[in-house]
Structure 1
Amino acid sequence: MEHTKLIVEKQDGYVVAAINNPPANALGQPVLADLNALLDESLNDNEVRAIVITGSGEKLFSAGADITEFASIQADGAPKISGHDVFLKIENYPKPIIAAMQGSAFGGGNELSMSCHLRILSASAKIGLPEVKLGIIPGWGGTQRLPRLIGKTKALEVMLTGDPLSAEDALSYGLVNKVVPADQVLSEAKTLAAKLAKGAPLAIREILKAVTQGLNTTIEEGIKIEQAGSAVVFASQDAKEGGMAFFQKRPPNFQGK
């Protein structure tokens, strides 16, 4: 499928999708539509085991929602494609999705990154939710995901002041997994995606499911989700292959079966 606002490159085992909507890589309706389509395309593609989402250009991963669309949304009601829906699809996706932030991420751009499973940030970049300075609130899950990632106290400080975090603070708060020089962000994300692509797809799917769903319920219910996932993977060919490879001292060849 052709994408108008994403540059998509299929690598060995994973896909790299760069948001290409200059000058700010704003997340307007065309970008959200492309992201939604990419998720649908990759879902049943066995050759895609991980996805990297990045931004074109050096300064911005994404500055957030497209402000030029606000007037039409207020006049016409809900947009055709909701950022909420796309980000929930990312968060609940059965394949790992990595945000490779070669530049700063603000507002909806930060909310997009937080919906991804893993995040790599440029050392020179900043990340924040400045919506309060515009008289609005983070409206694509920021009020819910940020406290879950860094805790209530720090999350409230970030959202109530609207001040951005440095890359160093984002790392120390646990908001991102790794901080590297800007010119190494994409290569770092690709290395991670390639490593994950060699992993056991069923086990990865069930880990993502158990963690994502488990955090939104009690530990008792979370353990039930974990047990159900364990039953699925223990009965799989991948589990047999993993055991055989271990005893034969060779790399496993997981097929997702």
Structure 2
Amino acid sequence: MEYTKLVVEKENGYVVAAINNPPANALSQGVLRDLNNLLDECLGDDEVRAIVITGTGEKLFSAGADISEFASIQAGNTPKISGHDVFLKIENYPKPVIAAIQGSAFGGGNELAMSCHLRILSASAKIGLPEVKLGIIPGWGGTQRLPRLIGKTKALEVMLTGDPLSAEEALSYGLVNKVVPAEQVLSEAKALAARLAKGAPIAIREILKAVTKGLDTTIEEGIKIEQAGSAVVFASEDAKEGATAFFQKRPPDFKGR
């Protein structure tokens, strides 16, 4: 598949997709369309076991929604591709999606990063939801994901002031998994993707499902989701391979079956 707003490279076991919409890597309809198509394509490719999303350029992962498209929305025109839908697809994706945030991420760029399962941030970058300064609110899941990630009190402060978090603050609040120098962000994300690509695809899928779905319900219902996932993985060939490899003292060779 050809992409106009993403630079896509397929590595051994994973894909790296870089948003390429200079100067700010704004999340235009073209970018959202490409991300949506990428997710669909990778879903049907058994050779792809993880996805890394990053941005081209050093300063910005993404500055957020394309403001030039606001006038059309305010005129009552419904966008063909919804950021809500794309980000929900990422959040519920059965393969790990890693955000390699090599530059600052604001607004929709932050909302994109928050929808990913794991996040690695540049030490020199900032991350925030400044929508209130434009007289609007985070409109692609920010009001829901940020409190779930860092807690209600701090999330409200971030959104009501519109002030960004430093990399150190983002790490301390649990918004990102790791902070590294800017030049190491992509290599760290690739190393993580490569490691996950060697894991058991069915088990990884069921862990992602149990955590994502379980957080939105009671612990009792969450345990039912976990139990259903356990039944699926224990019936898989990968579970047999994992036990066999353990007793044979060798690395497992998971096939996703």
Shorter-chain TM band: over 0.9
Letter in 1 for 2:25: N
1:11-160 maps to which residues of 2 (within 5 A)?
Answer: 11-160=11-160
1:217-232 maps to which residues of 2 (within 5 A)?
Answer: 217-232=217-232
Q: Deviations over 1:185-209 (max 9, x none)?
A: 0000000000000000000000000
Letter in 2 for 1:246: F
Name 2:193's counterpart in structure 1.
Answer: 193
RMSD (Å), alpha carbons? 0.4
Q: State the alpha-carbon separation in 1 of the partners of residues 206 and 251 from structure 2.
A: 21
TM-score by length of 2: 1.00
Name 2:8's counterpart in structure 1.
Answer: 8
3-state SS, counterpart of residue 179 of structure 1: strand
3-state SS, counterpart of residue 207 of structure 1: helix
3-state SS, counterpart of residue 75 of structure 2: helix
Q: Which runs of 5+ in 2 are unaligned?
A: none
Name 2:177's counterpart in structure 1.
Answer: 177
Work out the number of aligned pairs and report it. 257
3-state SS, counterpart of residue 143 of structure 1: helix
Deviating runs (4+, > 3 A) in structure 1? none
3-state SS, counterpart of residue 230 of structure 1: helix
Deviation at 1:78, TM superposition (A): 1.5
Q: State the alpha-carbon separation in 2 of the partners of residues 58 and 97 from structure 1.
A: 21
Deviation at 1:75, TM superposition (A): 1.8
3-state SS, counterpart of residue 138 of structure 1: coil
Q: Does 1:164 align with 2:164?
A: yes
Percentage of identical aligned residues: 88
Q: State the alpha-carbon separation in 2 of the partners of residues 215 and 72 from structure 1.
A: 35
Letter in 1 for 2:119: R
Name 2:238's counterpart in structure 1.
Answer: 238
TM-score by length of 1: 1.00
Q: State the alpha-carbon separation in 1 of the partners of residues 76 and 144 from structure 2.
A: 26
Deviation at 1:72, TM superposition (A): 1.2
Q: State the alpha-carbon separation in 2 of the partners of residues 36 and 119 from structure 1.
A: 19
Letter in 2 for 1:230: S
Deviation at 1:48, TM superposition (A): 0.1
Q: Which runs of 5+ in 1 are unaligned?
A: none
3-state SS, counterpart of residue 7 of structure 1: strand
Q: State the alpha-carbon separation in 1 of the partners of residues 87 and 249 from structure 2.
A: 40
Q: Deviations over 1:66-104 (max 9, x none)?
A: 000000122242200000000000000000000000000
1:192-211 maps to which residues of 2 (within 5 A)?
Answer: 192-211=192-211
3-state SS, counterpart of residue 58 of structure 1: coil
Letter in 1 for 2:117: H
